[in-house]
């Protein structure tokens, strides 16, 4: 089977059956393009049947030699594993070369988060301005911090899916999975005030441009980066950091790990357990500062 043909059918499978997001589709497509380019240039391979585990392994070695991080290499390996599972399912191949491929080890990185005192400073002291844009920017920060939702979920948040009476909102997460996120009275008031004071009421999405289109990711990222820069010196100042902050503060205040998992929309508990490391580090610091023999 021709490489390009297999790539197109795989993309359709990801889009219509797996229902991957556009972001994930682009990542998987780019990984396959890079892999196929390597095959053609290095081995002059043009069909799927010619590929074996030795060839796949040589591509991984070439990536490592280019100083691509193990984390990025592992993501590319995941792409190939998904690709070959699809080919087997479609009976386009009889052997899976990925069964003999081992992923490089990665160092575990603790989630970066903003300390509670810094978040209090941001939301209670920093001046966002009284105009419509200022209210919008503060509400963006508030929603990220109060709900732990993803950037894509905030951008696609529809007014119709916010139930102010029941203090909950419905978001569309990864793989188009819906979940309900509760929120408090303070955020309810913020949302109500924002909608009331807007010159043009939102047509569909809570956050829209002047042309009635939903905000794009760079705009939201810039807002978060700008305001976090005013209260913290951490390297990463992104919407995802506010998601980490939400989870860490919830855990530090006694929230059940399974509850945090559901709120974040994680598929399994292992993805949520990474936040327990921050709690352990906090306990270590407290012990070091308070114990006379530490």
pLDDT in tens, 170-195: 999 987 889 999 999 999 999 999 98
User: How many secondary structure helices (H) and strands (E) does the chain include?
Assistant: 12, 3
Q: Which domain holds residue 23?
A: 3-100
Determine what percent of the chain is predicted with pLDDT higher than 90.
Answer: 71
Reading the block at residue 245, the tokens are 């902050």
Q: Of 72, 100, 128, which closes a domain? A: 100
Count of structural domains within the chain? 2
7, 150, 214, 237: the active-site residue: 150
* 266 noted as active-site residue: yes
Residue 253 contacts by C-beta under 8 Å, 6 or more apart in sequence? none
* 240 noted as active-site residue: yes
Is 137 in the same domain as 247? yes
Q: Is residue 108 part of a domain?
A: no
Predicted TM-score of the model (pTM): 0.72
Q: Is residue 107 part of a domain?
A: no
pLDDT band at 290 (very low <50, low <70, confident <90, very high): confident
18, 170, 240, 277: the active-site residue: 240
* 57 noted as active-site residue: no
Burial class (CB in 10 A: 0-12, 13-18, 19+), 92: middle
* Better-predicted residue by pLDDT, 285 or 74: 74
pLDDT at 138 over 70: yes
pLDDT in tens, 45-91: 989 999 999 999 999 999 999 999 998 999 999 999 999 999 999 99
Cβ proximity of 209 and 196 under 8 Å: no
pLDDT at 279 over 80: no
Is 14 in the same domain as 135? no
Is 45 in the same domain as 158? no
Average pLDDT, the chain: 91
Q: What is the pLDDT of residue 283?
A: 67
Task: Name the residue with tokens 């209260």.
Answer: 231
Q: Is residue 106 part of a domain?
A: no
Task: Name the residue with tokens 């793989």.
Answer: 175
81, 158, 170, 174: the active-site residue: 174
* 71 noted as active-site residue: no
Burial class (CB in 10 A: 0-12, 13-18, 19+), 244: buried
243, 244, 249, 261: the active-site residue: 243
């Amino acid at each position: 089977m021709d490489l390009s043909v297999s790539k197109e059918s795989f993309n359709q499978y990801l889009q219509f059956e797996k229902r991957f997001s556009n972001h994930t589709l682009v990542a998987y497509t780019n990984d396959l393009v890079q892999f196929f380019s390597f095959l053609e240039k290095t081995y002059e391979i043009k069909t799927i049947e010619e590929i074996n585990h030795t060839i796949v392994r040589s591509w991984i070695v070439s990536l490592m030699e280019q100083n691509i991080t193990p984390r990025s290499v592992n993501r590319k390996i995941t792409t190939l594993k998904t690709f070959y599972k699809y080919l087997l399912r479609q009976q386009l191949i009889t052997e899976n070369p990925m069964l003999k491929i081992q992923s490089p080890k990665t160092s575990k990185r603790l989630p970066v988060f903003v300390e509670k005192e810094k978040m209090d400073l941001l939301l209670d002291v920093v001046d966002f301005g009284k105009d419509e844009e200022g209210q919008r920017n503060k509400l963006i920060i508030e929603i990220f911090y109060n709900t732990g939702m993803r950037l894509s979920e905030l951008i696609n948040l529809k007014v119709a899916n916010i139930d102010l009476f029941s203090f909950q909102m419905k978001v569309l997460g990864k793989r188009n999975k819906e979940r309900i996120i509760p929120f408090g009275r303070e955020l309810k008031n913020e949302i109500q005030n924002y909608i009331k004071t807007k010159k043009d009421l939102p047509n569909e999405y809570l956050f829209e441009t002047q042309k009635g289109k939903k905000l794009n990711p760079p705009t939201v990222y810039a807002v978060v980066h700008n305001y976090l820069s005013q209260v913290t010196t951490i390297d990463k100042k992104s919407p995802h950091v506010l998601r980490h902050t939400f989870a860490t503060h919830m855990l530090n205040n006694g929230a059940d790990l399974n509850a945090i998992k559901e709120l974040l929309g994680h598929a399994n508990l292992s993805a949520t357990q990474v936040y327990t490391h921050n709690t352990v580090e906090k306990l270590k610091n407290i012990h070091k500062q308070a114990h006379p023999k530490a």
